[in-house]
Structure 1
Amino acid sequence: MTRAILVTGGNGQLGTELQRCAWPDGYEVVAIDVADLDLTDTGAIAAKVAEREWAAVINGAAYTAVDKAESDVVTAWAVNAMAPAAFGEACAKAGIPMVQVSTDYVFAGDKAGAWEVDDPVAPLGVYGASKLGGELAVRTSGARHVIVRTAWVVSAHGNNFVKTMLRVGAERDTLMVVEDQHGTPTSAADLASALMAITLRLVEDDSAPTGTFHFSNAGPTTWAGFAREIFAQSASRGGASAAVKGIPTSDYPTPAKRPANSLLSHDAIGAAYGIAPRSWQDALSDILDELIGANK
């Protein structure tokens, strides 16, 4: 019997990579996006989960326009909080596990060092607050669940920091990039692999660890440091290159306040699932191989 995994956000970075993962024989990934399911319609969500015998649900869809969320509060909360609530309730009724993807934005960003999974949450804006609402909804839904917080997601697909730097770097000699926000880039492919491993355990082992975990790639940097590495690796492949001048966040005002520190601890996911992320530099190399080609 085929075990079908329902994946939301199918056209996004993570959804794309979940479909590219090497799932074991006997598993089928059914990826849907906004054209297939309106995430502001909780009744439609319940019907989607009830329409067939899913093995698990991975909710990778989200309202991720961080700045727009500040003025589009109701939609952000509908997608980021009420939709997970509906998925959680439906998964509980169906007796199937749910994997919810969350974000570093649930934290205030004011801690020195990496955030642990049980550190106090204090989101700075609507996006983080609505994603925290989704976490709380899933936790209280009664569904067996895993919540995975991540940060700074990039890939060869969609819109993200790597692709923006390559595009703008091809047009300008020098770029101004924020240097006082700290975190770790996350390869969508590496995140997808971690979510696949977790989902398989949840499906096949009723005693698999549940709760909240963090996943990003390994090693700290800043947005400016990330940009410099992108251009160094791009130049070695014959791609775009530009000088990067670090600037403070105050020189780049945005409607939504960003966490100053987004570093996520991997202790919990390592202890529970044996997942040890590789360096963000190695993950970036794979993305640039796909976008530009291998080193020349």
Structure 2
Amino acid sequence: MKAPVILVLGRSGLLARALADRGGGDIVTAGRPDFDITQPGASERLLDQLRPAAVINAAAYTAVDRAESEPELAFALNRDAAAALARACARAGLPLIHVSTDSVFDGAQDRAYRESDTPRPINVYGASKRAGECAVLDALPSALVVRTSWIFGASGDSFVSRLLGWAEGRDRLTIVGDQYGRPTYAPALAEGLLTLARRLLDGAASSGLMHLAGESVLSRAEQARIILEAAGRRGRAATTVIPVPSSLRPTPARRPLNAVLDCSLALRQGLALGPFRNDLEPTLDGLLGSAASGAQSGA
């Protein structure tokens, strides 16, 4: 019996690539330049053409700082296009998983954020993603909105790849030490989303909100130290990480200091993602080569 086809929107993104890799022949991806989710009627036409069994929406405007000067574009993709997709799925009777973010919270809380906590975004990106969550669930109450955090992997842009670039040729690097979150390995997240999509198809998954992110809780500076230590084992020159407060590294968009998601609901459903150190190894293998080959080349 042929496996059901799951449509993934957001073809070129880090998560969409991981979903395509993990899902193999069960996955069809759609994205620019062939498909523009922001165009009127685009979602209906795509669903009519492909007739998938379920949809995972990994398409998003994710340029957090640029969103401050491009709010219309951020809301067009993260709210309006997501709502149009949800309406199209509702008409077609299709299960939908919509991927969201920890940035819907303000970061002022002194514990991890639960699904039941009230979102209070502090930047345009977070506001557009929160508006998208509401629009999706309004249009399709049976949808599942999955919030995640700090996605990284070997096949696209992430904090890991950017940090390696920043550290090149430098013996010291200042990184904010008061922003905390759960780094999430894209392939592991993809596996979890595919499991949820199949459960939705079987009627075995609930709708609403779920937090799904990596096991480790780290500050950005702690994450940077771990990355650069592992890069050193691959022949990269040592770079010392100097933690600094966010107030000394202002950015156009404010970031929540506490972006830690409580993933207890996912854990109770058997969805446990791994620790950062373990998931970093295959990421750096892809970006820099293995630790063994790095040590040999540096000998």
User: Which runs of structure 2 are paired with 1:17-96 in the superposition (5 Å)?
Assistant: 17-22=18-23, 28-96=26-94
Does the 8 A contact of 2:154 with 2:282 survive in 1?
A: no
Structure 2 distance, partners of 1:49, 1:184, is 34
SS, match of residue 148 in structure 1: strand
Q: What is the alpha-carbon root mean square deviation over aligned residues?
A: 1.4
Within-5 A mapping of 1:165-180: 165-180=163-178
| Percent identity over paired residues | 39
Q: Distance in 1 between matches of 2:53 and 2:142?
A: 12
Report how far residue 207 of structure 1 moved: 3.9
Q: Kindly indicate whether the alpha-carbon contact (under 8 Å) linking 1:153 and 1:185 is maintained by their aligned counterparts in 2.
A: yes
Determine the structure 2 residue equivalent to 1:220. Answer: 217
1:105 maps to: 103
Q: Which residue in 2 is equivalent to 1:267?
A: 264
CA distance in 2, matches of 1:78, 1:44: 14
2:5 aligned counterpart, secondary structure? strand
- Residues 126-135 or 239-248, more deviating: 239-248
TM-superposed CA distance for 1:143, in Å, is 5.3
1:251 equivalent in alignment to 2:248:
yes
Tell me if 1:287 matches 2:283: yes
Q: Secondary structure at the match of 1:81?
A: helix
Confirm whether residue 13 of structure 1 aligns to residue 10 of structure 2. Answer: no
Q: Which moved more, 1:37-46 or 1:56-65?
A: 37-46
Paired residues, number = 291
| Whole-Å separation in 2 of the counterparts to 1:283 and 1:86 | 35
Alpha-carbon distance, 1:86 to partner? 0.8
Separation in structure 1 between the aligned mates of residue 62 and residue 237 of structure 2, nearest angstrom: 27
Per-residue deviation, residues 60-116 of structure 1 (Å, max 9, x unmatched): 010001111111111110100011101111111111100100000100111112111
**Whole-Å separation in 2 of the counterparts to 1:226 and 1:41:** 38
**Is contact 2:141–2:207 with CA below 8 Å preserved after alignment?**
no
Whether 1:241 and 2:238 are equivalent positions in the alignment is yes
8 Å Cα contact 2:141/2:208 also seen in 1 = no
Deviation at 1:2, TM superposition (A): 4.8
**Alpha-carbon separation, structure 2, partners of 1:292 and 1:68:** 29
Aligned partner letter, 1:198:
L
Secondary structure at the counterpart of residue 66 of structure 1 = coil
Q: CA deviation at 1:22?
A: 4.6
Distance in 1 between the 2:225 and 2:112 partners? 22
Tell me if the contact between 1:91 and 1:143 (Cα under 8 Å) persists in the aligned partners.
no
The answer (yes or no) to whether the contact 2:180–2:260 under 8 Å persists in 1 is: yes
Q: Which residue of 1 aligns with 2:297?
A: none
**Worse-matched range after superposition: 164-173 or 52-61:** 164-173
Which residue in 1 is equivalent to 2:227?
230
Q: Aligned-pair distance for 1:126?
A: 1.1
Unmatched segments (≥5 aa) in structure 2 = 293-299
Task: Quote how far apart the aligned CAs of 1:52 are.
Answer: 3.0
Matched, 1:117 2:115: yes
**Separation (CA, whole Å) in 1 of partners of 2:167 and 2:116:** 39
